[in-house]
Amino acid sequence: MNSIGEACNDLKKEYDACFNMWFSDHFLKGNTDESMCAPLFKVYQQCVKKAMKEQKIDLQEVSKDILGGKHEKKVENS
């Protein structure tokens, strides 16, 4: 599955692979330490946020309008 940002696809795949392993082998077994995929997540995130900005996708606005703000505090600024 691709990212919205084409440039992020490779980063996403790497991160996803890491996350899936972490999720089943660590997280579900009680190890909640996130550091394993953190570096991959960070670069992937930066790429995605840039892509979202470029494509003018604003999740914050959405949350406000549709969810009535109930998730606002969770929304990360793009």
Partner 1 sequence: MPAMTTHGGVLYYVVKVPKDGENSTDSGWDNPFRPGGDLSREADEIVELIKGGKPITPTPGQQPPPLPPTLEPPVAESPVERAPAPAGVATSAPSPRSANGTAAAKQAPVGAVDVQRAIVKPDGDGAQADHPWETVATAAWRKYPNPHNTAVIGTDVVERKVVDGVLHTHRLVSSIWYFPKWAQALIGSAKICYASERSEVNPSSRLMVLKTINLTFCRHIAVDETLRYTPDPSDPRRTLLKQEAVVTVKGVPLTNYMEDLLTNKISNNAGKGRQAMEWVINRLNDEVKDLTRSTDEILCQTKRSLDDIASSAKKQMGDISQKAKQSFDDMHSMRLS
Instruction: Using CB under 8 A, pick the residue from 13, 36, 50, 64 that binds partner 1.
Output: 13
Which of 30, 34, 76 lies closest to 52 in space, CA to CA?
A: 76
Instruction: Using CB under 8 A, pick the residue from 10, 43, 67, 69 that binds partner 1.
Output: 67
Tokens of 6: 């084409």
Instruction: Using CB under 8 A, pick the residue from 7, 66, 69, 73 that binds partner 1.
Output: 66
CB atoms within 10 A of CB 15: 23
For 46, which DSSP code?
Answer: H
Long-range contacts (CB closer than 8 Å, 24 or more residues apart) made by 32-38: none
By CB under 8 A, tell whether 27 contacts partner 1. Answer: yes
Interface residues toward partner 1, by CB under 8 A: 1-5, 8, 12-13, 15-17, 19-20, 23-24, 27-30, 32, 34, 41, 44-45, 48-49, 51-52, 57, 59, 62-63, 66-67, 71, 74-76
